[in-house]
Amino acid sequence: MTLQEYDYARESPSKLAASCLLLALTMKNLGGWTPTLEYYSGYSAQDLHPLVKRLNFLLTYQPRGKLNAVRSKYSHRVFFEVAKVTPMDMLKLEETLTSS
């Protein structure tokens, strides 16, 4: 989704990928940002928090009328129906990120 949003073009691909991973881990309650992830990515969890919040906002307020082919593709079980995953509540996300 970020490939279709100009605002994310200025982010480094590695930071974007790391932020997406942290958001996915948080959304699925699979733990937080571990020292191993920090070491290999080069990013601390605090470095990623602002971008994680922006990504969740993008998921929450995405335009429903546009880009339906992408949504349809990733709603299929071959792709684990990731397009159907409910975004986190912004306050709960903030609370989870600050408690880590």
Structure tokens at 4: 């279709």
Structure tokens at 43: 């990013």
Across residues 16-43, what is the average pLDDT?
Answer: 95
- pLDDT exceeds cutoff 80 at 91: yes
Sign of the alpha-carbon torsion through 27, 32, 38, 40:
negative
Domains in the chain: boundaries: 10-99
pLDDT at position 67: 67
Please tell me the class of the 10-99 domain.
mainly alpha
Question: pLDDT per residue over 35-88, tens digit each?
Answer: 999 999 999 999 999 999 999 998 888 766 666 787 788 889 998 888 888 889
Burial 4-23 (b: 16+ CB within 10 A, else e): eeeebeeeeeeebebbbbbb
Confidence of residue 33 (pLDDT cuts 50, 70, 90): very high
